[in-house]
Chain A
Amino acid sequence: MERHADKPESLLPLPAAAFHILLALAGGERHGYGIMQEVARMTAGKLRLGPATLYRSIHRLLTDGLIIEVDERPDPTLDDERRHYYRLTLFGAQVAAAEAQRLAHLVRLAQARQLLGGLEQYS
C-alpha cells in the first residue's frame, strides 16, 4: 500500500540492501532472483544479496509502499508462474532519488576534503 503522506526524506538513510533493490527495480519489473542477479551485476559481484536479506528488505519496501507486487508478467509463456514480480512505485522512485541526492552530497563533501583524489597528505 502506498503512503504518499510520508515525505521521502523521512525514510532516509536507506540501508544498502534496500537502496540496491530500488536501483535494480528502477530498470524495470523483476522477480526476486532477477533482483539478486541485477544487484550482483551492478556492483560487479561485490554485493550478493542472500534470500533472507532480499525478502526481508522486500517485505519492508512493500509495507512502506516503495514497491508493489505486480500480477502481469513480461512473457507468461516463458516464465515460471510461481514467480512474484515487483515494481517501483512513484513514492519509491522519490525515496530512491532522495537517497541518491544524499549520497551525492556526501561524495561532494568527500571531494572537497580531498578524500577521493588521493591520500598523499596522510602519508
Chain B
Amino acid sequence: MKLSHLRLALILSDRVYQGLVCLFPSAFRRMYGPQMTRMFRQCCREAIQHHGLKGLTRLWLHILADFTVNLVLEWSATLHKQARDYWPSLLSPLVGLLAGYAYLHTENGQGLTLFLLLCVMCAGLLGYLQPKGAWERALLIVAGVPFVRFIDIIMNYPLPCHTYLFAMFLAGVSALVGASSGVGLGTIIRRFFMWPCCEVAWLNVGANRYMT
C-alpha cells in the first residue's frame, strides 16, 4: 500500500470522525470533542503503523459501535435532564390559562373555587416535587392568565381589563401560597418521614447512574 494512500485514509478518517463528534449534545461536544478527536487520531496512527489499512478498517468498526452506543446514551441522558428541568416551567402557564378560563367564564361560584384549587394544588405539587424555582413557577402560573384575554378577543367577547387583572392577582396570591406550602411540606416529609426510603432510592440511583 502506498504511503500517500495511507495518509489520505488517515486524513479522511480524521475528517469523518470530526463530523461524527458534532452529533453529540453541544455541552458534551464542547468539553470533550477536541480530546476525542485527538485520541481517535492517535488510535488511527497506531492502527496504520502496526496493521496498515486492515488495522484502520478494524479500528473503524470498533469506533462506530462505541460511537453509536454512547451517542444514544448521551442524548437520552441530556434529553431526560432537560425534560426534568423544564417540564414544570412549561406546564405552569398552561395551568394559569386553564384556571383563568374556568374562573372568568363560569357564572356561579364554582369557577372561583376551581380556579383557586387549580392554582394552589398545581403550584403546591410542583413545589413539592421540585422545590428549586417553586416561586418563579408560581409567577409563571400568573403569566398564563392574560392568555385568556387573547382567547376572548379571538372569540369576540373580551371582558373588562380589570377582571383579568383581578384574576391575575388572585392567581398570584394562591399560587405563591400553594408553592410555599408545597416546598414546606416537601421539606418536612423528606426530613422526618421519608429518610429511610430516600436512602434506599439513593443507593439504587448510585448504582444505575453509572450504567452504560
Contacts and interface: CB of A to CB of B under 8 A. Distances in A.
A36 interface: yes
B38 A82 contact: yes
Given A52-B66, A53-B212, A56-B212, A12 B39 contact: no
B212 A54 contact: no
B169 interface: no
B35 interface: yes
B70 A12 contact: no
Interface residues of A, number: 28
A48 interface: yes
Contacts of B65: 50
A6 B205 CA distance: 12
Contacts of A58: 32
A101 B193 CA distance: 33
- Report, as a range, how many residues of chain B touch the other chain: 20 to 34
Nearest to A18: B210
B123 to A, nearest CB: 31
Interface string A42-66: 0000001011111111111000000
B206 A32 contact: no
A26 to B, nearest CB: 18
Interface in B106-133: none
Interface string B86-119: 0000000000000000000000000000000000
Contact of B67 (A9, A52, A60, A83): A52
B81 to A, nearest CB: 12
Interface in B163-212: 202-203, 206-207, 209-212
Interface of A: 6, 9-15, 17-18, 32-33, 36, 48, 50-60, 82-84
10 contacts: A10-B206, A15-B211, A17-B212, A50-B66, A51-B39, A51-B66, A53-B69, A55-B32, A60-B210, A83-B38
Interface of B: 28, 31-32, 34-40, 42-43, 62-63, 65-67, 69-71, 73-74, 202-203, 206-207, 209-212
- What are the 5 closest A-B residue pairs judged by CB atoms, nearest first? A50-B66, A52-B70, A10-B206, A51-B36, A55-B32
